[in-house]
Structure 1
């Protein structure tokens, strides 16, 4: 037996053992950190409805620009296409969509508008013309024409802009700020 070779391999074996003693706890801590990060990360949902040609992403508390534009167009359609028979239903539905801090302010305006629709038996239709997203203010802007018509009335058309801030909370879109005004948007839209 070669004593020199045995001493050399024995010291190498001890060195390797010491390296493993240091590396294993570091690897175990790294694994725990990685598992806790992955376990606490909220998944991102990618939505691809047939009528939308862009990728829509929704996270726990964020969404892509295309998703916010799609939701803004949906909300503008709900707000702009009302008649006496469905006015109360829309008010109940909007209660779920509009953030509670904003809903009180918007609800009083909507209730007076709904009362006017019911009293005069009006039908309101909205025809969107353009959409825009303003990233600096996080606003979605829907511009179009609104036609208001009463029973037996020829009706009238006006340009209108819906401007809203859409946030995502628990994967659900919420309108946190809302403004509607006659005329074109205050900035350019596509």
Structure 2
């Protein structure tokens, strides 16, 4: 009788041991999956950009609207307020966050602007008034007032817009598109409106 009870208990322990092994194996697989998931999860950094009230999120190769707007405003502020004294600082600040082709364009343009400022003994000032983002084109538009100041004189201000496309590469912003023009931001609606006006003008001229 005792031998029979012992055998039953032993078999029961073996069954329990098998069950525990299965459970342990299952938990090990779950933990392994969780570890792989954590390692492969893209990190997200949350920032509050200086000068903007909205939150900005950045991951390895993408960023939120707020983050791109903050960098667009930063770049426009630097480029719009170049003087012979701060030109080297501005170039060094922006050269690491632009593509090679824009870097060449930027250096040439800044050098040309500096030469003009020195010859005419004036300084350029840009005051940001509006920063906007267009999801359709992934572009940032920084519009503001621009004026030239000379010795004892100041020109009338004019509207000016900086247009950027900012990519994210390994958490760092990279300007892949840069344009500067007078007037309001050339968002898709404005471009279509201007194109329609131009087409209407051509049609009227051809109809004469």
- Range of TM-score over shorter length: 0.7 to 0.9
Q: Map Cα deviations across residues 25-79 of structure 1 (whole Å, 9 max, x no partner).
A: 3332332232233234443222236754222222232222111111111111111
Distance 1:50-1:184 versus aligned 2 partners, 3 A rule: closer
Measure, in 2, the Cα distance between the counterparts of 1:164 and 1:50: 18
Equivalent residue number for residue 206 of structure 2: none
Measure, in 1, the Cα distance between the counterparts of 2:73 and 2:52: 12
Larger relative contact order (C-alpha < 8 A, sep ≥ 6)? 1
Q: Classify the secondary structure of the residue corresponding to 1:83.
A: coil
Distance 1:119-1:93 versus aligned 2 partners, 3 A rule: farther
Runs of at least 4 residues of structure 1 off by over 6 A? Answer: none
Measure, in 2, the Cα distance between the counterparts of 1:123 and 1:30: 64
Structure of larger gyration radius: 2
Structure 1 range deviating more: 19-28 or 177-186: 19-28
Q: Classify the secondary structure of the residue corresponding to 1:61.
A: coil
Q: Map Cα deviations across residues 77-105 of structure 1 (whole Å, 9 max, x no partner).
A: 11111222212321222212223343223
Equivalent residue number for residue 48 of structure 1: 48
Measure, in 1, the Cα distance between the counterparts of 2:12 and 2:151: 96
Q: Map Cα deviations across residues 143-164 of structure 1 (whole Å, 9 max, x no partner).
A: 1121122334332322111110
TM-score relative to the length of structure 1:
0.81
Measure, in 2, the Cα distance between the counterparts of 1:103 and 1:52: 27
Alignment map for 1:139-150 (pairs within 5 Å) = 139-150=139-150
**What is the RMSD of the two structures over their aligned residues, measured on CA atoms?**
2.8
Aligned length: 188
Measure, in 1, the Cα distance between the counterparts of 2:80 and 2:144: 10
Q: Classify the secondary structure of the residue corresponding to 2:96.
A: helix
Gaps of at least 5 residues in structure 2 are 191-208
Structure 1 range deviating more: 115-124 or 11-20: 11-20
Equivalent residue number for residue 157 of structure 1: 157
Q: Classify the secondary structure of the residue corresponding to 2:157.
A: strand
Alignment map for 1:17-32 (pairs within 5 Å) = 17-32=17-32
Measure, in 2, the Cα distance between the counterparts of 1:50 and 1:176: 22
Q: Is structure 2 residue 38 aligned with structure 1 residue 38? A: yes
Q: Classify the secondary structure of the residue corresponding to 2:154.
A: coil
Q: Map Cα deviations across residues 102-133 of structure 1 (whole Å, 9 max, x no partner).
A: 32233322322222223322211112221211
Q: Is structure 2 residue 93 aligned with structure 1 residue 97? A: no
Alignment map for 1:77-156 (pairs within 5 Å) = 77-156=77-156
